Amino acid sequence: MSLSLEQVHRVAQLARLEISDAEAETTRTQLNAIFTLIEAMQAVDTKGIEPMAHAQDLSQRLRPDEVTETDRRGAFQAVSPEVEAGLFLVPKVIE
Closest among 1, 82, 69 to 38, alpha carbons compared: 1
Fill in the amino acid letter for 9: H
CA-to-CA distance for 67 and 75, rounded, in angstroms?
A: 18
pLDDT tens track for 18-72: 999 999 999 999 999 999 999 999 999 999 988 887 788 777 788 888 999 999 9
> At CA 19, angle to CA 16 and CA 13, rounded to 5?
30
User: b/e string for 36-67 if b means 16 or more Cβ within 10 A?
Assistant: eeeeeeeeeeeeeeeeeeeeeeeeeeeeeeee
Domains and CATH numbers, the chain: 5-42 (1.10.20)
**Prediction pTM value:** 0.52
